[in-house]
């Protein structure tokens, strides 16, 4: 049974009403021929036609007074602008804090330095909008189209962007601290230097996203600002071919994340959760993975040169054909890890646990194996005197 108003209602009722309308009009015309009275069936036909039109267009129009107020004064705090058509509107510096902008059409509008904090912007179309310096803190942008926007310096702290489309955005130095980006589409997004501290990016699509350091000039000084994702939730996120060089992922949750061919050179992944993550062909040279959780992770053919894996948990991890030259594996747990044909050269592996590990075809030379538990359970003192 349909609810008082639901998607099912117009889908099921409108066709029936339209059919009844046709029948009524036919009867009306027949009755007119028989009686000569034009008004005989007019009230009934009119009622049905009005009902049909009402159900066909269930969305309520925006408050016209509020639209006028916004366009004339740019001050519309708490206004009701739901479903408004404001394509190309010039709203630089406008105050729309707490406003209702659900389903609003703001395509190619100017929202530079506008205040939309706490606003309801669900399912809105903000494509190709200039949003430099915009304040969207605490706003709800669920399922909103933000494709192609310039969001440089925007404030999206505590913003809900679940299901939002941010494809190909310029979001340089944007603050997305604690923002909800669950299932957000960030394919090929420019996220250089973005702040995503504590953000929820679970199931988000970051395929080929650029989260590399942002280099910018202020006067005669060149600044380098890395992307900040410490404590971010990237569980099940798609980071295929993403660029995360020098990114700060301290204690980030990357459980089951896809990082195939991702670039994480010099990234900080201290105590990050990468359990069951797919890092095939990923580049992690100079990265800090100290105390990181990598149980069941797939690091096949990954580049881990000069990578710090001290105290990391790599139980049942697949490191087949991985390059670990000059990496650090002190106190690392590699129980039942797969290291087939891996390059294990010039590594400090002291006190590492290799119980049950598969080292077939692995290249091992110039390593510090002091107190290392070997695959057969024996301990070696090789390198202890160095």
Read off the pLDDT of residues 167-192 as tens digits, 9 standing for 90 and up. 767 777 788 889 898 998 888 888 88
**What does the pLDDT look like over 74-128, one tens digit per residue?**
999 999 999 999 999 999 999 999 999 999 999 999 999 999 999 999 999 999 9
Give the pLDDT score at 5. 35
- On the question of pLDDT at 375 being above 90, the answer is yes
- On the question of pLDDT at 45 being above 90, the answer is no
Could you identify the residue written with the tokens 């699509």? 205
Give the pLDDT score at 219. 86
Give the pLDDT score at 126. 94
Mean pLDDT value across residues 240-247: 96
Give the pLDDT score at 25. 52
**Token representation of residue 161:** 């962007």
Residue with the bigger pLDDT between 164 and 67: it is: 67
Residue with the bigger pLDDT between 352 and 20: it is: 352
pLDDT tier, 216 (very low <50, low <70, confident <90, very high otherwise): confident
Residues 6+ apart with CB under 8 A from 26: none
Give the pLDDT score at 202. 94
How much is the pTM?
A: 0.79
pLDDT tier, 13 (very low <50, low <70, confident <90, very high otherwise): very low
- On the question of pLDDT at 197 being above 90, the answer is yes
Lowest-confidence region among 16-25, 161-170, 207-216 = 16-25
pLDDT tier, 48 (very low <50, low <70, confident <90, very high otherwise): very low
pLDDT tier, 289 (very low <50, low <70, confident <90, very high otherwise): very high
Mean pLDDT value across residues 188-198: 89
- On the question of pLDDT at 10 being above 50, the answer is no
**What does the pLDDT look like over 297-331, one tens digit per residue?**
999 999 999 999 999 999 999 999 999 999 999 99
Give the pLDDT score at 53. 42
The phi and psi torsions of 66 (rounded to 5 degrees) equal -70, -40
Average pLDDT, the chain: 87
- What percent of the chain has a predicted confidence (pLDDT) above 70? 84
Mean pLDDT value across residues 122-140: 94
pLDDT tier, 204 (very low <50, low <70, confident <90, very high otherwise): very high
Give the pLDDT score at 40. 53
Residue with the bigger pLDDT between 149 and 204: it is: 204
Give the pLDDT score at 362. 97
pLDDT tier, 44 (very low <50, low <70, confident <90, very high otherwise): low
């Amino acid at each position: 049974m349909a609810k008082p108003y639901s998607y099912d209602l117009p889908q099921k009722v409108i066709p029936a009403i339209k059919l009844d309308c046709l029948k009524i009009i036919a009867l009306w015309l027949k009755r007119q021929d028989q009686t000569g009275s034009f008004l005989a069936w007019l009230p009934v036909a009119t009622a049905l036609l009005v009902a049909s039109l009402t159900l066909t267009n269930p969305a309520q129009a925006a408050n016209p007074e509020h639209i006028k107020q916004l366009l004339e004064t740019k001050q519309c705090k708490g206004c009701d602008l739901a479903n408004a058509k404001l394509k190309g509107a010039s709203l630089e510096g406008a105050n729309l804090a707490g406003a209702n902008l659900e389903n609003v059409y703001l395509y190619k509008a100017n929202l530079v330095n506008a205040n939309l904090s706490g606003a309801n912007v669900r399912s809105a179309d903000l494509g190709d909008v200039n949003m430099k310096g915009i304040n969207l803190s605490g706003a709800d942008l669920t399922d909103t189209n933000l494709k192609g926007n310039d969001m440089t310096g925007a404030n999206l702290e505590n913003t809900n962007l679940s299901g939002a489309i941010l494809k190909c955005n310029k979001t340089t130095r944007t603050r997305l601290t604690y923002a909800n980006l669950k299932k957000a589409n960030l394919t090929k997004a420019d996220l250089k230097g973005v702040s995503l501290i504590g953000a929820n990016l679970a199931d988000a699509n970051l395929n080929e996203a650029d989260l590399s350091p942002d280099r910018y000039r202020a006067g005669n000084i060149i600044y380098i600002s890395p992307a900040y994702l410490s404590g971010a939730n990237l569980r099940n996120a798609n980071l295929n071919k993403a660029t995360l060089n020098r990114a700060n992922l301290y204690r980030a949750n990357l459980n089951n994340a896809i990082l195939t061919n991702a670039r994480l050179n010099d990234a900080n992944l201290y105590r990050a959760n990468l359990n069951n993550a797919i890092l095939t062909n990923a580049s992690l040279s100079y990265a800090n993975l100290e105390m990181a959780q990598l149980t069941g992770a797939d690091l096949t053919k990954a580049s881990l040169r000069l990578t710090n894996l001290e105290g990391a948990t790599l139980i049942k991890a697949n490191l087949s054909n991985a390059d670990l030259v000059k990496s650090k594996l002190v106190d690392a747990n590699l129980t039942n890890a797969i290291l087939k044909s891996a390059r294990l050269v010039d590594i400090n592996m002291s006190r590492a646990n290799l119980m049950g590990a598969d080292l077939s075809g692995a290249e091992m030379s110039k390593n510090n194996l002091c107190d290392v538990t070997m695959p057969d359970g024996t301990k070696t003192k090789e390198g202890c005197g160095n």
